[in-house]
């Protein structure tokens, strides 16, 4: 029986990895520079773990990957596919065109072709407008050769998905095999945010494809092609590589989530502030009862509003690779640029010519000492720069708080080794064992989830049966994704009457999760 699992987190600067046993005890960790392709860094990290521990490849049963590639692609406006959007909404939605509030550069990167056609449903699943097959097929034919993927978004399709599924078949008839995103499989309530998420999902097909291929190739090259490979989601749970290929947008935000989960696991603290310092950014979040506190606001991804549930995170442009320069008065300027994964070639402590936060820390003798050179930089300048960085961290910690009650701060991430065990405004700073690989450990301990989010016409005489049926549906989706049925538990349940809709309309949402079963 395969008893070990490996967690890997690919960041902008470093690729972190950890190997855990059946009891979820961390046996060893690894940190290697991220490579332009996913393959190189992941393979190097796995090779390091297996070599250091002597564990045979055949004894590894699970491999989990967390990645920021999709987030970076949206933020940097790079490698996005050309998308065609069919909005099934009839004439009612024509006043608000697709991409209405998108940043101009992101909209240009997606090069969206779109068509509003008849379709959609009422809140209770009754047809709003019927589909016109000829109209839809003509629109799709016109896009041939001008798009790489298609998104379909219908009014209340999350209540009744029949029209979206029918349109999917027509698209395949006209264009052949092409990636298609159906909005009912991605978002919940909120038509425009669901449409936005669907367009982003369609645009990310190439990015996630390269990630999954690189991950698979690295597993094969290290003798781990027999393991069950899973990808981290933005809510801290896991999905299969096949699911990730279909829903790449669900990987956005998994990096900070994994770090928060890893921090809670390593420290044993249920309520705390977590500061995750990497090579490029410092992400600050809060743990509440052992889980990442979710944002109460709509989540913007690269300037686009979506309806995902994500951790409440404050990101600062502060990391080990952050570039330090001087203004016209000789005062230090912190970032926002970072040398990223080029730290070991461009930072002064490694013989480079760029002054980074790592160099500043080295001059002051603070935190971890790395490299083989001593930067020729005035101590007074470095001290002023470092104090400015500490002030930013303290401000971020203060902003994430919801009350004046004291909370411990858990420092994790490789870049946190550069900082002292103090942050102004906190009474306790915790740096747990294996803090540098908290993100990799966080994804390694992830469960498999299932979710149902529906609007139903709730009648008192069938209330319990309706709830039980939807709960069972969520549990079944988790089991199909690889969860052990005996471990599946309900994490969240929402039962909200929608007073603005007639007919006792009620939104029912179940979120469940269970322990992942490894392959024998």
**Residue 457: helix, strand or coil by DSSP?**
strand
pLDDT the model gives residue 248: 93
Q: Which of 203, 218, 233 is the last residue of a domain?
A: 203
The 10 Å Cβ neighbour count of residue 511 is 19
Q: Give the per-residue pLDDT at 520.
A: 46
Question: Which neighbouring-strand residues pair with 367?
Answer: none
In a domain, 389, yes or no: no
DSSP 3-state assignment of 42?
Answer: helix
pLDDT at 357: 94
Domain-located, residue 2: no
> Does a structural domain hold residue 102?
yes
Q: Both tokens of residue 135? A: 């109209």
Residues of the domain holding 172: 81-203
496 lies in some domain: yes
Q: Which of 170, 203, 236 is the last residue of a domain?
A: 203
Q: Is residue 113 part of a domain?
A: yes
Reference 6, options 444, 438, 435, 442; nearest CA is 444
Residue 357: other Cβ atoms inside 10 A: 28
| Domain boundary pick from 159, 182, 203 | 203
One digit per residue, pLDDT tens: the chain, 520 residues? Answer: 568 999 999 877 789 999 999 999 999 999 998 887 878 999 999 999 999 999 999 999 999 999 888 887 887 788 899 999 999 987 766 778 898 888 888 899 999 999 999 998 877 677 888 999 999 999 999 999 999 999 999 988 877 889 999 999 999 999 999 999 999 888 666 788 889 999 999 999 999 999 999 999 999 999 999 999 999 988 788 988 898 999 999 888 788 889 999 999 999 998 999 999 888 888 899 998 777 887 766 667 777 877 666 788 888 888 888 999 999 999 999 988 888 778 888 999 999 999 999 999 999 988 777 878 889 999 999 999 999 999 999 899 888 888 877 789 999 988 888 887 777 777 789 999 999 899 999 999 988 888 887 777 777 778 889 899 999 999 998 898 888 899 998 988 888 777 656 567 788 888 888 888 875 4
What is the reported pLDDT for 80?
93
Q: Is the peptide bond before 446 cis (omega within 30 degrees of 0)?
A: no
Q: What is the pLDDT of residue 519?
A: 59
CB-based contacts of 153: which residues, under 8 Å, 6+ apart? 85, 86, 87, 88, 89, 164, 183, 191, 194, 195, 198
pTM: 0.82
Both tokens of 186, joined, read 């991605």
441 to each of 83, 282, 437, how far by Cα in Å?
Answer: 36, 18, 6
290, 268 in Cβ contact below 8 A?
A: no
The pLDDT of residue 422 is 78
- Residues 6 or more apart from 261 whose CB is under 8 A from it? 236, 292, 442, 443, 445, 446
Domain-embedded: residue 111: yes
254's tokens: 């998994």
Residue 330 burial by Cβ neighbours in a 10 Å radius (0-12, 13-18, 19+): exposed
> CA 114 → CA 82, 180, 335, distances in Å?
11, 14, 39
How far is Cα 12 from Cα 255, in angstroms, rounded to an integer?
Answer: 11
CATH number at residue 190: 3.40.50
Q: Where are the beta strands (DSSP E) in 235-385?
A: 238-240, 272-277, 282-288, 291-292, 299-301, 304-306, 314-316, 322-326, 332-338
Q: Which helix (H) or strand (E) holds 149?
A: strand 149-154
Rounded Cα–Cα distance for residues 137 and 147 (Å): 15
Residue 325 lies in a domain: no
User: What is each CA distance from 286 to 50, 63, 173, 272, 507, in whole angstroms?
Assistant: 33, 27, 48, 6, 28
**pLDDT for position 406:** 79
Sign of CA dihedral 300, 302, 304, 310: negative
Could you count the other beta carbons within 10 Å of the beta carbon of residue 465? Answer: 10
The b/e string for 389-415 (b: 16+ C-beta within 10 A; e otherwise) is bbebbbebbeebeeeeeebbbbbbbbb
The answer as to whether 328 is a domain residue is: no
Instruction: Work out how many domains the chain is built from and give that number.
Output: 2
């Amino acid at each position: 029986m395969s008893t070990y699992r490996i967690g890997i987190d690919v960041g902008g600067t470093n690729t972190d990895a950890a190997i855990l046993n059946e009891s979820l005890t961390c046996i060893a960790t690894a940190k290697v520079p991220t490579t332009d392709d996913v393959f190189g860094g992941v393979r190097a990290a796995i090779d390091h773990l297996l070599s250091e521990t002597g564990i045979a490849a055949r004894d590894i049963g699970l491999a989990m990957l967390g990645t920021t590639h999709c987030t970076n692609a949206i933020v940097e406006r790079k490698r996005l596919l050309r998308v065609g959007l069919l909005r099934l909404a009839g004439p009612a939605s024509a006043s608000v065109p697709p991409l209405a509030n998108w940043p101009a550069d992101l909209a240009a990167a997606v090069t969206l072709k779109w068509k509003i056609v008849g379709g959609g449903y009422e809140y209770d699943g009754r047809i709003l407008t019927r589909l016109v097959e000829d109209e839809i097929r003509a629109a799709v034919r016109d896009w041939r050769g001008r798009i790489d993927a298609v998104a379909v978004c219908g009014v209340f399709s999350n209540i009744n998905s029949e029209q979206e599924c029918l349109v999917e078949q027509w698209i395949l008839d006209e264009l052949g095999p092409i990636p298609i995103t159906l909005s009912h499989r991605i978002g919940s309530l909120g038509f425009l945010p669901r449409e936005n998420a669907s367009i982003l999902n369609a645009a990310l097909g190439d990015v996630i494809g390269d990630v999954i291929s690189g991950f698979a190739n690295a597993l094969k090259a290290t003798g781990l092609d027999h393991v069950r490979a899973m990808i981290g989601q933005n809510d801290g749970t896991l999905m299969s590589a096949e699911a990730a290929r279909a829903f790449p947008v669900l990987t956005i935000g998994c990096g900070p989530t994994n770090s928060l989960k890893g921090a809670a696991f390593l420290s044993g603290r249920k309520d705390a502030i977590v500061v995750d310092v990497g090579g490029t950014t410092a992400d600050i979040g809060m743990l509440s009862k052992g889980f990442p506190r979710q944002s109460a606001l709509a989540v913007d991804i690269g300037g686009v509003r979506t309806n995902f549930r994500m951790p409440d995170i404050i990101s600062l442009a502060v990391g080990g690779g952050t570039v330090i320069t001087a203004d016209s008065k000789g005062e230090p300027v912190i970032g926002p640029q970072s040398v990223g994964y080029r730290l070991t070639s461009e930072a002064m402590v490694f013989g480079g010519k760029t002054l980074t936060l790592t160099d500043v820390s080295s001059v002051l003798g603070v935190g971890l000492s790395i490299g083989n050179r001593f930067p020729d930089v005035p101590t007074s300048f470095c001290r002023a720069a470092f104090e400015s960085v500490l002030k930013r961290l303290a401000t971020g910690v203060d902003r994430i708080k919801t009350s004046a009650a004291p909370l411990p701060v858990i420092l994790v991430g490789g870049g946190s080794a550069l900082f002292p065990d103090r942050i102004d405004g906190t009474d306790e700073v915790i740096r747990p064992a294996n803090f540098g690989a908290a993100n990799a450990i966080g994804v390694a301990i992830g469960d498999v989830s299932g979710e149902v989010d529906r609007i139903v016409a709730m009648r008192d005489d069938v209330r319990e049966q309706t709830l039980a049926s939807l709960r069972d549906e969520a549990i079944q989706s988790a089991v199909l994704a690889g969860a052990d049925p005996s471990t599946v538990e309900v994490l969240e349940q929402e039962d909200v009457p929608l007073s603005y809709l007639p007919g006792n309309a009620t939104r029912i949402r179940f979120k469940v999760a269970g322990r992942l079963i490894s392959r024998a």
